[in-house]
Structure formats: C-alpha cells, structure tokens
Amino acid sequence: MSARPFYIDTDTASDDAVALALALTDDRVDIVGIGVVAGNVPLASAVQNALYTREVCGRGDVPVHVGADRPLVLPLGTAQNVHGHDGMGDIGLELRGREPDAGHAVDALIEASHRHAGELTLVTLGPLTNIALAVHRDPTIVERIPRVVIMGAAADHVGNVNPVAEFNMWVDPHAVQVVLDSGLPLEFVGWDISRRDAVIVPSLADELRAIGTPLAEFCIDIQATVASFCATETKLAGFDLPDPIAMAYAIDPTIATETRRMHLEVECDSTTTRGMVVMDLLGFTRREENALVVMHADHERFVEMLREMMARS
C-alpha cells in the first residue's frame, strides 16, 4: 500500500516534536508539508523547534512553512510555563539559525489540498489559526480534504489552561469557530484522552530513554519542564503526550477504541470559560453533528508505537 499524504500544522514544542517524530519516521504516511503557528511558544521559536525536530529525524526533505504569528482576534497567550521558555524543556538545545522553506503555511496547505485532492489528511497539533485563515482564503478547501484530525478540546470538559478549556482551543477560539462551521470532516482527540491514555509514568520514561537512540533520548529529555508541570499543576502520574496520541490515531485510527459523532460549539466571549469546546454528549441542542470525537484510546498500542519510533535511528 502506498503511503498516505499528511500535512501537519503545529505550534512546535515538546509534545509536538514527539508527534512529528512519529509521523516523519513512519513509512505508512508521506508528510507533504509542515505549517507552523504561534501557540505554545512565539512563532519564531516554534519554527526553530520544528526545524530542529526535522533534522533529528533526518527529514530535511520535508518542507516547513511559517504561518500565523498570532490568533485571529485575541492576543497570543503561550504555554512557556508548561513546555519551557524555548518550548523544548530548556535543556540547552541549539535552537537557532535554521532556515524555514519559502512560502506562507496557509498557502502551502491550500496548495497541498490541490496536489492531493481527495486524499490529504490534515493533522493539527496547535491553535487552529492557520486552518481558519486557509478556509477564509479558499473556502473550497473543504471539498478537497477528506480527513482532519485535531488535537484539542476535552470530552469530559476538564481543561488544562482554565477549568474547562484545553490550550489549543483556548489560544484561538475564533479560529475554532471558523473550523467547526467550515464543513471540514473533523476528528477530535482531546486532552481527556491524553490525561487518561497517554501518560508516561517515570518508569516507562526511563525504559523508553534506555532504548538509547538519539531519537529516544531527544523525545524523553525535552519533556523535562512538562514533567514538572504535570506533577504540580495537572497532577498526573507522569507527563502526558497530547499531540503524539492524536498523531498515533491519525496514522492508525484503530488506536481509538471508542468514537462518537456529535455537535460541538466553542465559547469565544466568556472570560471564565474562554475556549471551552462544549460537546453535546446527550444531544440536547438537536443540532447537526459536526465532528467525530475519540472517547477512548489504547494506551498499550500507543506506547508500542512510541517504542517502535524511538528504536529507529
């Protein structure tokens, strides 16, 4: 079977990097482009982090394009308290001086949708700003992209940036609104999945790092600041990997053990619940379903995918 074309949009920080590594080293998928957006870190840092990761994976052939440097309406809020000032755990990586490819990420996505019309999978690992801009610029894009996997929201409505919102949705809720209304075929992997099915406890982190390849050491070491955030703020038993579990599902949908279609809406105006994606679990709104939501995923198979990726060098 030939590799399926993927386009990835990312606000590259520590967990995005692991998701990129999963995709860039898996021969089931052909990464036709990477777009970068401001989110976890300011845009310039996210771009350097994506370029560094591409290099670690030995994939200088995959184009990395610079996208939006801020959300559509709101000022940018970053997550440097989670991922470190440099977004990669502040472990002293040399994250400067690499050059991205020419062309804006929004144009690159539209172009990819033409080149791979009817077969492109779009995977988003950050705020949806670039995707909303692409929908604005060329609304026909929705006819050419048959699958969009989004890391974002939370089906249990427990947030990681305020009590009810997940970070990617919180950064640019107006972009989420555009994407939810676009007619794109959306599949959400939320922070609830990450918190339950993608936690790497310290003994597992040690085991994975001991695989000993440059990729294994890179993927574990850059989680340094996330690990402390998870211990003190989100109170997990280890660090979680939201973007990688979304990418694992994008590559192999059978990683999801339960999915549901439902209607989703996002809160843009409230200061208390900004970015909350309200999932109509019981069908109260009677509104048309606009997304498929992953409700449960297979932790063991996810870890196996990580192991296989880290063993590649």
Q: Which one-letter DSSP state was computed for residue 238?
A: S
Distance CA 28, CA 24 (A): 10
CB 297 to Ca ion: min, Å: 17
CB 32 to ligand BDR: min, Å: 21
Q: Are 279 and 262 in contact (CB under 8 A)?
A: yes
Quick check: 35 binds Ca ion (CB under 5 A)?
Answer: no
Residue 79 or 310: the one with the smaller Cβ distance to ligand BDR is: 79
Q: Which does 72 bind (CB under 5 to 8 A by kind): Ca ion, ligand BDR, none?
A: none
Quick check: 16 binds Ca ion (CB under 5 A)?
Answer: yes
Burial 78-109, CB ≥16 within 10 A → b, else e? bbbebbbebbbbeeebebeebebeeebbbbbb
Nearest to 110 by CA among 139, 136, 132, 141: 141
Quick check: 125 binds Ca ion (CB under 5 A)?
Answer: yes
Stretch that binds Ca ion, among 7-15, 49-57, 184-192, 274-282 (CB under 5 A): 7-15
Stretch that binds Ca ion, among 62-70, 237-245, 265-273, 293-301 (CB under 5 A): 237-245
Enumerate binding residues for ligand BDR (CB under 6 A).
Answer: 13, 15-16, 40, 79, 82, 125-126, 151, 160, 166-168, 191, 242-243
- Give residue for tokens 């050491």: 217
Residue 197 or 243: the one with the smaller Cβ distance to Ca ion is: 243
Residue 87 or 263: the one with the smaller Cβ distance to Ca ion is: 87
- Tokens describing residue 193: 């999945």
Residue type (1 letter), 125: L
Sign, CA torsion 135/137/139/140: negative
Stretch that binds Ca ion, among 6-14, 22-30, 114-122, 179-187 (CB under 5 A): 6-14
Residue type (1 letter), 157: H
Residue 167 or 218: the one with the smaller Cβ distance to ligand BDR is: 167
Q: Give bridge partners of residue 151 from the DSSP assignment.
A: 189
Which residue has the closest beta carbon to ligand BDR? 167
CB 283 to Ca ion: min, Å: 30
Gyration radius of the chain's alpha carbons: 18
Residue type (1 letter), 193: I
Residue 167 or 249: the one with the smaller Cβ distance to ligand BDR is: 167
Residues in contact with Ca ion by the rule CB under 5 A: 11, 16, 125-126, 243
